[in-house]
A and B are shown apart, each in its own frame.
Chain A
Amino acid sequence: AQSVSQHNHHVILSEAASLELGCNYSYGGTVNLFWYVQYPGQHLQLLLKYFSGDPLVKGIKGFEAEFIKSKFSFNLRKPSVQWSDTAEYFCAVNAEDTGFQKLVFGTGTRLLVSP
C-alpha cells in the first residue's frame, strides 16, 4: 500500500545539536514532498517543499531537506536546533499516480529540544 513512514516517533535533543528526521515513502512515479511543522498550540505550517529541480531544498528557520529518489527518502535536517524548534514534524507526499490530488502524511515525529 502507498504510505509515508517516519521512523522516529520521539526525538530529544539539546540545544545546538544537529537534527535529522527520516521520511520514506512508497509511491512510484513523480512525487511532491513536504515537511509541515506543528508548534505547541498552533496549527500545521509548511516548513519546506520539493517539486522538482535541486534535490536539496531549504525552508524556513534554517531547515533543509534532501530528496533521494533512489532511496524514496526526504529527510529533514537542521545543523543546530534551538529550544523554539520543539514541535511535531510531519512529512507528507502527494503523488502523480493519485493526480497530486491529496496529501498523505506520515505519523509525525515529536521533537523536544532541551535548553
Chain B
Amino acid sequence: DTGVSQDPRHKITKRGQNVTFRCDPISEHNRLYWYRQTLGQGPEFLTYFQNEAQLEKSRLLSDRFSAERPKGSFSTLEIQRTEQGDSAMYLCASSLKGLSGANVLTFGAGSRLTVL
C-alpha cells in the first residue's frame, strides 16, 4: 500500500486552459474526496464519492469543475476554462467508511495548480 497518489504534483497553465488531476486512492478504500487548499486556509471540501457514485458537491464546485470516479477506483478532477482564482493546492483523500460511522481520511500530497 503506497498511500494516496496524486498526479501531477505541479501544474502551471494559462488562463482559459483546461487541466485535469488524477487521484489513486488506497486500494481498499471505498470513499474518495477532493479538497482545495489556498494559502493561509484549511482544506475546503469540494466533492466526494462512495465507490463510483458522487454523493455530494460543494457550492464551491462551479460548473467549470467536474469530477469522476468511473470504476470506483481512481478519480479525476477537471477544471475547464481555468481562472487565476483557481490557483490552489488540490488535495485528494480516501477512507474506508465503516458501519460505526468512523471515517478517517488519508490524504495525498496534493496537486498544486498555478494559473497565469
Contacts and interface: CB of A to CB of B under 8 A. Distances in A.
A75 to B, nearest CB: 17
Interface residues of B, number: 23
B102 to A, nearest CB: 6
A78 to B, nearest CB: 20
Nearest to A49: B104
A46 B42 contact: no
Interface of B: 33, 40-45, 48, 55-56, 91, 93, 100-110
Interface residues of A, number: 26
Contacts of A49: 104
B42 A90 contact: yes
5 contacts: A34-B104, A44-B43, A100-B101, A101-B103, A107-B40
Contacts of B91: 43-44
Contacts, number: 57
Contacts of B100: 51
Contacts of A12: none
B42 A32 contact: no
A29 B55 CA distance: 22
- The main secondary structure of chain B at its interface with chain A is loop
A49 B105 CA distance: 11
Contacts of A107: 40-42
A94 B43 contact: no
A100 to B, nearest CB: 5
Contact of A94 (B40, B103, B106, B108): B103
Contacts of A44: 43, 91, 93, 107
Interface string A1-28: 0001010010000000000000000000
A108 B102 contact: no
Contacts of B42: 4, 6, 90, 92, 105-108
